[in-house]
Amino acid sequence: MIVIMKPNATAAEIGAVIRRAESLGVTTHPIYGDNRTVVALVGDLTRVSRESFNAMDGVNTTVRIQEPYKLASRTTRPENSVFDVGGGAVRIGGPEVVVMAGPCSVESRDQIVETAIAVKEAGAKVLRGGAFKPRTSPYSFQGLGLKGLEYLAEARAVTGLPIITEVVTVETLPMVAEYADILQIGARNMQNYGLLHAVGKTQRPVMLKRGISGTIEELLMCAEYIVSNGNYNVMVCERGIRTYETSTRNTFDLSAVPVIKHTSHLPVVADPSHGTGYREYVPAMAKAAVAAGADALILEIHPDPDNALSDGRQSLSLTEFRKLMADLRRVAEAIDRFIDGEPGTKPAVQEEIAQVA
């Protein structure tokens, strides 16, 4: 249930609502929106009567939230969630479509720095790269671990790009959080509740990927675990699901984008690389994802895709990536959004790169 306060409600009136709810044994989450303050009540609501809250000073009305995810629901917060990553370097969830790009795995210092420079030059805003890799086979490359995180930090120092990297266990979270601007929770860990609790206790932005057999509702319930632990800086990512179709690695469920935008206020990221599994299909689905309303894209790119240590088949070359970025700008403008700067402006980063490289 949410208690919607009047626009001019005082801090004392909001405090009284919180105290009454907590005296009834429910957990409260005040949500301060642009136009209104809402106090979300979660937990066992059997002793809570709407009428008694409706009668309190400063209360406008109360609404029962139908969805099982309460804090992630758009009913609770009608406006989009927008938050900063990398200390304000990038804003996720606003009018800019944020492109995150980089290799599946960090392989060497040179590989990640070369890629990072290409990412920045092309106008993408976040560098991706896996240091801890959750691989289907235990015999596949598992990532460089701490060394990979150090190389990512070097690439950030050279380009200024914030970094997104995957955290696979609760034990390694402190180490990964020391380096990552965005913590990625992979598809295989969507329902790793211990990990969801742990990242929920931080304030670091999190990108939660949809599991291969996860429904949209299950994905949002997993986001709810993070948000209900106090971390509202969550974006959810459509990366394809398992179906009977074998022509693509996964079935990229693009309709998840408008569905989630409708039912939740959380920013939505689309990953056409894992979504399709083949680089020749990535540009079309990346453009489609922007057209469908994704707030961000995450793309796998590599200086030498055919020799990548993981996911080379779905990785774009740096040249293919540059071409795609130019096309994506036009798609974004067609729906009154933009990529890298105001509509119509071109990236002015070449000189900056020359200075720091």
Residues lying near ligand PEP in the complex (CB under 6 A) are found at: 104, 130, 134, 186-188, 209, 239, 274
Q: Which of residues 162 and 186 has its CB atom nearest to ligand PEP in the complex?
A: 186
Instruction: Give the three-state DSSP class for 19.
Output: helix
User: Phi/psi at 37 (nearest 5 deg)?
Assistant: -105, 140
In the complex, minimum distance from the CB of residue 130 to Mn ion, in angstroms, rounded to a whole number: 7
In whole angstroms, how close is the CB of 78 to ligand PEP at the nearest point? 30
Q: Name the binder of 186 from Mn ion, ligand PEP, none, CB < 5-8 A by kind.
A: ligand PEP
**Shortest CB 277 distance to ligand PEP, Å:** 10
The entry of Mn ion, ligand PEP, none near residue 118 (CB within 5 to 8 angstroms by kind) is none
Both tokens assigned to 113: 């720095």
The DSSP secondary-structure symbol of 38 reads E
User: 104 vs 222, which CB is nearer to Mn ion?
Assistant: 104
CA distance 134 to 250: 17
Smallest distance from ligand PEP to CB 103, Å: 9
SS3 content of the chain, % helix, strand, coil (to 5): 35, 20, 45
Kindly state whether residue 166 participates in binding Mn ion, applying the rule CB under 5 A. Answer: no
**Residue 36 interaction partner, one of Mn ion, ligand PEP, none, beta carbon < 5-8 Å per kind:** none
Interface with Mn ion in residues 202-241 (CB under 5 A): none
As measured in angstroms, the least distance from the Cβ of 134 to ligand PEP is 6
Q: Which is nearer to Mn ion, 189 or 231 (CB)?
A: 189
Residue 321's nearest CA partner among 86, 134, 127, 131 is 127
**How many chain residues are in contact with Mn ion, going by CB under 5 A?**
2
- Strand 90-92 vs strand 83-85: parallel, antiparallel, or unpaired? antiparallel
Min dist CB 131 to ligand PEP, Å, is 11
State how far the alpha carbon of 92 is from the alpha carbons of 7, 302, 354, in Å: 26, 24, 27
Q: Looking at the chain, list the stretches that DSSP marks H as alpha helix, in order from N- to C-terminal side.
A: 11-23, 50-54, 109-121, 146-159, 173-179, 193-200, 216-228, 256-263, 272-276, 282-292, 318-334, 350-356
* Region near Mn ion per CB under 5 A, out of 55-63, 80-88, 100-108, 181-189: 100-108
| Closest distance of CB 319 from ligand PEP, Å | 21
Looking at the Cβ atoms of 80 and 191, the one nearer to ligand PEP is 191
CA separation for the pair 161, 120 (Å, rounded) = 7
| CB nearer ligand PEP, residue 209 or residue 287 | 209
- The answer to whether 107 contacts Mn ion (rule: CB under 5 A) is no
50 binds, among Mn ion, ligand PEP, none (CB under 5 to 8 A by kind): none
Q: Which is nearer to ligand PEP, 38 or 149 (CB)?
A: 149
> Which has the closest alpha carbon to 240: 316, 187, 294?
187
Taking the least distance from each CB to ligand PEP, the nearer of 134 and 312 is 134
Based on the shown chain and the rule CB under 5 A, indicate whether residue 311 belongs to the binding site for Mn ion.
yes
329 binds, among Mn ion, ligand PEP, none (CB under 5 to 8 A by kind): none
The DSSP output letter for 317 is P
Token pair, residue 186, equals 């992979």
CA distance 95 to 295: 8
Nearest approach in angstroms of CB 163 to Mn ion is 15
- 87 to each of 122, 161, 253, how far by Cα in Å? 21, 11, 32
Judged by CB under 5 A, does residue 271 bind Mn ion? Answer: no
3-state class (DSSP) for residue 348 = coil
Least distance to ligand PEP from the beta carbon of 235, Å? Answer: 14
In contact, 265 and 79? CB cutoff 8 Å = yes
Contact range with Mn ion by CB under 5 A, out of 107-115, 168-176, 189-197, 310-318: 310-318
Select from 104, 106, 164, 256 the one that contacts Mn ion (CB under 5 A): 104
Phi-psi sector, 38: left (phi>0), alpha (psi -120 to 50), beta: beta
